[in-house]
Amino acid sequence: MNYFVEFFFICSLPVGILTSYYLNEVVVKSSRPGKVAIVLLFLMIILTATVIRHPPFRHLPLDDSKATEIQHDIVKQIAQAPRPVLSDDVVLLIRAGREAQIDPAMFRELVATGKWDQTRFLQLLSSHAFEFVIILNEYEYTAEMLAAIARAYPSIERLGPYTIRRQAAAVQPSLFGLTA
């Protein structure tokens, strides 16, 4: 998710207007650009180059067939899972026709601000309420969530940028959420 889309959209309007104004001043009126115009143009070029050189790591290239194959495989696994799956990449859950049980990043913030007690959720993790856990960005989970996931789902599989954590083969959940 990109929480800054609206901010970038709002900022792009004044940047476009300023760019148009200064280009009009320099090209049409053949006047010398002022120091402010040069500084703003220089900053725009640097920011654009930075964004192009360092794109967000979270977004896999659309034309990367290996990444697409990995995502399709994960979506199939989610769709076939008999129980809910926990993932910070909610799009995978939606593509598999599943509901997002929790958005770890949102609940991490609620824990950080003291507005949510994660104890019950940690118990769900410990009792293997989820078939498996898909982690794309560890920073979207609290340290306690990651520790509970590591204990309850010790088997690790890496598929591209995804870490899939599964419970040990001998552990099967009971009817009441307690392990056998």
**3-state secondary structure (DSSP) of residue 4:** coil
Nearest to 162 by CA among 69, 65, 39, 52: 69
Mean pLDDT confidence for 90-96: 93
> Tens digits of per-residue pLDDT, 46-65?
877 777 776 655 545 545 78
- With bands split at pLDDT 50, 70 and 90, how would you rate the model's confidence at 24? confident
Task: Tell me the whole-structure pTM to 2 decimals.
Answer: 0.62
137: containing domain: 65-166
Asked whether residue 79 is assigned to any structural domain, the reply reads: yes
Residue 116 CA to residue 6 CA, distance in Å, equals 27
45 and 73 inside one domain: no
35: pLDDT strictly greater than 90? no
Taking the C-alpha atoms of residue 107 and residue 143, their distance in angstroms, rounded to an integer, is 12
Domain total in the chain: 2
pLDDT, residue 17, reads: 81
What is the model's pLDDT at position 180? 42
The answer to whether residues 109 and 36 belong to one domain is no
Concatenating the DSSP letter of every residue in 9-44 gives HHHHHHHHHHHHHHHIIIIIS-PPPPHHHHHHHHHH
| Mean predicted confidence (pLDDT) in 31-60 | 70
Say yes or no: 128 and 49 in one domain.
Answer: no
